[in-house]
Structure 1
Amino acid sequence: MTEICRGLGIDEECCSVLERYIKLLLNSPVNLTSTRDLQVAFVKHIEDVAIPFSITGIKGDCIDIGSGGGVPGIVLAILFPQSRWTLSESRRPKATQLLRFVKELSLSSVEVSNERVEKLGKTHYEVFDNAVIRAVGRADLCLEYAAPLLKPSGSVFLFKGPNWRDELRYSAKASATLGMDLARIIPYSLSDHSQRYLIEYTKISSTPNKFPRKPGLATKRPLGDMS
């Protein structure tokens, strides 16, 4: 773990907190990750976040949509302690674990929301500077979740694998509808040779009033499938 942190430019104190977090994640009674190997988990959950955000950085009020076990939100809260975070997780068992992680790691700048993201889009309309989404769904779905939450000129960062281009035709429709614009694509590789991409979309105009739609509609009738 220390060698990975050193290679990423992460100091010893921060690395120690990240290692504590990964151990909490692996030992959780709720299934939050597909691996039980500490080294593999560190690459999959820490490297995958730390590498691209060493380029972009992140600050301000941020939300992790569909946080699951806290990746990438908790990782970024540790790496960028001046940022403020809301971890959005609608499944109560996972949200309960997130609350425990936040408490045990003393992350005072992190709060957990158990509301559906569509409801947050109404109560927290244009509140956040940044949103991050990892392993939630197709890009058009992710953009629809994020857009109402973002301030004008805010950004959403999507973590994607090597087939991300297959989603472009869907995300192009959604971004045009939602007032979002593809800002940049950051390719990077993990130490296990996985090829990864961080896709940034920026909010260039206010989200139309009909968004967020009712819970479930984004998945039942995706924007990318509409003519």
Structure 2
Amino acid sequence: MGLARRYADLLATTGISHGLVGPREAPRLWQRHLVNCALPQALLAQGTTVIDIGSGAGLPGVVLAIARPDLEVHLVEPLLRRTTWLEATIDELGLTNVTVHRGRAEEMTLAAPVVTARAVASLDRLVAWSFPLLTPGGRLLALKGEAAGAELEQAQDVLRRAGVEHSTMHVLGEGHVSEPVRVVEIVRPHEWQPEGKGAARSRPARARASKKRGRRGPSASR
């Protein structure tokens, strides 16, 4: 909780001055953002490697790294001012299980069993961006709003074309928090292949990292 409070303070100060968080969000950081981003940890096995795409202010990646020191978290963010803030925040919090990567998801050569995304894009785009980063059988966990169920239904044609056999929506925290989080889970098929390529990509985690922290394990094996 001490680290979470320090992170909340950074979001409410430099996070706002750097344009990562809107000023009106400061009074509801815990309710709407921090608790919301912590709940999906229930879907993560011990020691999992997580790639958080479009990480922005580190939501949910930094929150998951604080709540679960056993996780190895890779934050992928294309904007320099955001990656600079993320690096400074990681330094300030002393997090050793987080790596920041500057670039777009489609430019990365990372691989992991879990990709997360919050308020980044529609499900069809998230599938296109996340599947090349997922190991066979890996899972996209997309944090969505109240329309998550309808969005998942609308994406069924895209998922069928991608060969997806398993997709579902989790509602986490219902009855315990004021704003439950809806997480759309989409499993990458073992036989999925990128368009125009002969084999599915499954590489060890590696990328152009703007800063690395702590030990790096063999991500693809987790």
The TM-score normalised by the length of structure 2 is: 0.78
Structure 1 residue 186, shift from structure 2 partner: 1.4
Distance 2:175 2:57 in 1: 20
> Which of the numbers 23, 36, 44 marks the counterpart of 1:57?
44
Alignment RMSD: 2.3
SS at match of 2:139: strand
Q: 1:42 to 1:191 in 2, by over 3 A?
A: farther
Residue 220 of structure 2 corresponds to none
Q: 1:60 to 1:51 in 2, by over 3 A?
A: closer
Considering Cα pairs closer than 8 Å and 6+ residues apart, tell me whether 1 or 2 has the greater RCO.
2
User: Following superposition of structure 1 onto structure 2, how do residues 110-189 of structure 1 map, counting pairs within 5 Å?
Assistant: 110-120=98-108, 123-124=109-110, 127-188=111-172, 189=174
Structure 1 residue 71, shift from structure 2 partner: 0.5
Q: 1:114 to 1:211 in 2, by over 3 A?
A: farther
> Which of the numbers 102, 105, 109 marks the counterpart of 2:97?
109
Structure 1 residue 176, shift from structure 2 partner: 2.4
Question: Are 2:60 and 1:76 equivalent residues in the alignment?
Answer: no
Q: 5+ unaligned residues in a row in structure 2: which ranges?
A: 198-222
Distance 2:30 2:175 in 1: 11
**Residues 147, 178 of structure 1: 8 Å contact kept:** no
Give the letter for the 1:138 counterpart.
S
Residue 193 of structure 1 corresponds to 178
Question: Are 2:32 and 1:47 equivalent residues in the alignment?
Answer: no
Give the letter for the 2:10 counterpart.
L
Q: 5+ unaligned residues in a row in structure 1: which ranges?
A: 1-14, 213-227
Distance 1:197 1:149 in 2: 22
Distance 1:61 1:23 in 2: 27
SS at match of 2:125: helix
Q: 1:147 to 1:195 in 2, by over 3 A?
A: same
**Residue-by-residue CA offset, 1:177-200 (whole Å, 9 max, x unaligned):** 334343432114487733531111
**Residues 37, 60 of structure 2: 8 Å contact kept:** yes
The TM-score normalised by the length of structure 1 is: 0.76
**Residues 144, 174 of structure 1: 8 Å contact kept:** no
Residue 90 of structure 1 corresponds to 78
Q: Which structure is higher in helix share? A: 1
Structure 1 residue 210, shift from structure 2 partner: 2.2
Structure 1 residue 84, shift from structure 2 partner: 0.6
